[in-house]
Amino acid sequence: MAPVGRGEMLLALVVALCLSATTTEAQLRVGFYSCICPQAELIVRQEVNKAVRANPGIAAGLLRLHFHDCFVRGCDASVLIDSTRGNTAEKDTIPNSSLRGFEVIDSAKRRLEAVCRRKVSCSDILAFAARDSIAHYKGIAYQVPAGRRDGRVSKAAEVIDLPPPMFNLTLLTPFFTKKGLSQDDMIVLSGAHTVGISHCPSFAARLYNFSGAGTTDPSLDCGYAAQLKRRCPPRSNNVVPMDPPSPITFDTSYYRNLLVNRGLFTSDQTLMSTRATAAKVRQLAGNPWLFQTKFAAAMVKMGNIGVLSGRKGEIRANCRRMN
């Protein structure tokens, strides 16, 4: 028998790695598509960059889209599914009514289906797009473990798993812990509010009817409250930046706002309500590198919530409907 050369051994190793990416017991891993669809992450990045050039704010929408997906049924792209005559899907609920970026995911999926038919899941596209969006805002371009498969269910009733913006620390924390995320993860992930916009109804009660008393939330800085009232007169649906000092930069301005009572949502300012959580906020406010690295780690952790892999779920041909 002829001796096996180095080139043949290398080829055998590459084949073995490719096969491992498609086993029924596959788990999420960095480089999952390196053999079965090497262009996957590049194509998603190109589509995100194209969309951001046309509309810089869309990047924050893609980040939020991934978050809203993972908190309901896990990271299975159920948030992308359209409603049908017999079922109202997640996207057609009040908490999801302002979600943006669906068309960016659609564009990436069309290109991927053209070069790698039924190989790249919509849920992985969401995870890649969220990472690329953060990088656009000068955040860390972290590595994304992939191998998720898409779910076959999307029900409006299950959107109750999304943490509401009007909840305080006591009510908010269980929404994260039941998903396997710690309170520290919650504080770090809340930093996503350093970019993007919000519609006035999401926080109007803090301005005009706090605790049903017809007053302004006393924990809200008076100057900031006055500024918000000018932008958000009663019953308006205007939009405001969530982090006015730097709404398109992924920085620690969000945490510095909390230190001076300028958190937009109750769920933001409540992070200052205990000594322990306030200490975390101060730590992140003063250390941009710590925030960036912790946020990247928390995003990877969140991206593991309830994932489907192996033979579970499917790889949708169209992200808006099941096969």
Residue type, 4: V
Q: Is residue 74 part of an annotated ligand binding site? A: yes
Is residue 283 within 8 Å of 167, Cβ to Cβ?
A: no
C-alpha–C-alpha distance, residues 126 and 112, integer Å: 13
Q: Is residue 47 part of an annotated ligand binding site? A: no
Q: Is residue 72 part of an annotated ligand binding site? A: yes
Is residue 199 within 8 Å of 294, Cβ to Cβ?
A: no
Q: Which helix (H) or strand (E) holds 66?
A: helix 58-70
Instruction: Report residue 262 as tokens.
Output: 């300028």
Q: Is residue 243 part of an annotated ligand binding site? A: yes
Q: Is residue 163 part of an annotated ligand binding site? A: yes
Q: Is residue 147 part of an annotated ligand binding site? A: no
Total residue count of the chain as it appears in this document: 323
Assign residue 28 a region: left if phi > 0, alpha if psi is -120 to 50, beta otherwise? beta
Q: Is residue 194 part of an annotated ligand binding site? A: yes
Q: What share of residues in the chain are helix, strand, coil (percent, to 5)?
A: 50, 5, 45
Q: Is residue 260 part of an annotated ligand binding site? A: no
The interaxial angle of helices 58-70 and 102-115, nearest 10 deg, is 80
Q: Is residue 185 part of an annotated ligand binding site? A: no
Reported in sequence order, the residue ranges of the chain that DSSP labels E, i.e. its strands, are 197-199, 239-241
Active site residue 136: no
Q: How many CA atoms are closer than 13 Å to the CA of 93, on its beta-carbon side?
A: 21
Instruction: Report residue 5 as tokens.
Output: 């050369």
Q: Is residue 193 part of an annotated ligand binding site? A: yes
Residue pointed to by tokens 């302002």: 98
Is residue 88 within 8 Å of 156, Cβ to Cβ?
A: yes
Residue 257 to residues 23, 44, 51, Cα–Cα distance (Å): 47, 33, 29
Instruction: Report residue 273 as tokens.
Output: 């309500």
CB neighbour list of residue 58: distance below 8 Å, 6 or more residues apart: 51, 52, 100, 101, 104, 133
Q: Is residue 124 part of an annotated ligand binding site? A: no
Residues at the annotated binding site for Ca(2+)?
69, 72, 74, 76, 78, 90, 194, 243, 251
Residues at the annotated binding site for substrate?
163
Q: Which residues are catalytic?
A: 68
